Structure 1
């Protein structure tokens, strides 16, 4: 792991230097996750680490490179399929892992949509899931369709869930604002489950039922 020793920007001649503060790539990524992956700034990371902003650029030449490093770190923790009994079990695991990383790393769902190359950071993971599906007779094209469909569903749903959970400066959540905006006679009935995973699971099971009858390829 590389490490940066942060020098003072300028020192008066003959002035004794104090102990140089140090930070690592891990420190930077931890600070990003604390700030939220979709909202961090280089200045905010520097403040958390107690250094000047230019010091961050010694490890990461750009904000995008930090985003990529964070995506790679997240990808490294995604659980891979192991001897799942059928293709449905493989896809449920995929849905579970997509939801879990969204929960563990707030802001990830937004970054996945804002940063176009994001999905390329999990190429190896997708390949492992495709191999697990191949064991159950699915082609690479079929695997890509199912993984993409389910991944999109989970990430899009989580993006909506985050907006419902978000609390504004007045202490009012997005869910409360929805309830206030819905007329009493509306077919829309806001439920607490909207802020959790229940609706997502129903959608995933619907997709799996559909795949039993027809499995497109991409």
Structure 2
């Protein structure tokens, strides 16, 4: 009987030693957060994905929002950002589309930004870099700050309104469908010279309408350039 018990204990010990314990360091936690997506991010969801405990996560991040900020820092670094070059308009255009790629790559980020749930050090650094470049192009401090802020807002607004956490392509389809539902009953209330444009804006690719907005904005910026 004693030998039987001893064998069971030995077998149990051997089995425990053969199993690999869950691995979670700062890099793995951030990677898991990005895989889950900011819209669905919770400490519980990350712990479950990594097969570890909440206490392990809290050893690296004090809160869900602190983890989200670290995830955004990582996401910002993964995006290719433009260098100023010689042409302020080309630089701002490229900067706007870099922001677009950032929000398109990480559903839920726009909602995080507008609800002030987090501040990303790397995103702040990018905003500052844009502002400094504008100063070098000859814009005043006020104009540089306004332009930097409005470029960011222009992009963020394009990503609000869709169901959080869905792939960008699905968000676009859902947003287009909803906009059609809202605008179609009212089309006859618009001047006929505006109707076709409104239909195109609502049913076309969001990138195309964003490009028109960006061009109009930059035309206004050109009036302030020295």
The two structures share one fold, judged by TM-score above 0.5: yes
Any stretches of 5+ residues in structure 2 without a counterpart? 1-8, 191-197
CA deviation map 1:123-178 (0-9, x unaligned): 322232223223321233321110100110111112246679349xxxx9343344
Match of 1:199 among 206, 209, 212: 209
Say if 2:100 and 2:155, in contact at 8 Å, map to a contact too: yes
The residue number in structure 2 matching 1:8 is none
Residue 43 of structure 1 corresponds to which residue in structure 2? 44
Task: Give 1:1-218 correspondences, 5 Å limit.
Answer: 16=13, 17-18=16-17, 19-115=20-116, 118=119, 121-160=122-161, 165-166=170-171, 173-183=174-184, 186=187, 187=190, 189=199, 191-194=202-205, 196-214=206-224
Local SS of the residue matching 1:137: coil
Structure 1 range deviating more: 109-118 or 142-151: 109-118
Q: Which moved more, 1:117-126 or 1:55-64?
A: 117-126
| Change over 3 Å in CA distance of 1:150–1:63 after alignment to 2 | same
Matches of 1:209 and 1:80 in 2, distance apart? 22
Determine if contact 2:110/2:159 at 8 Å carries over to the other structure.
yes
Q: Which runs of 5 or more residues in structure 1 are unaligned?
A: 1-12
* Bigger CA radius of gyration: 2
Q: TM-score w.r.t. structure 1 length?
A: 0.76
- State the aligned residue count: 198
Give me the TM-score of the superposition, normalised by structure 2.
0.74
Greater mean deviation of Cα atoms: 112-121 or 135-144: 112-121
- RMSD value, Cα: 2.9
Deviation at 1:72, TM superposition (A): 1.5
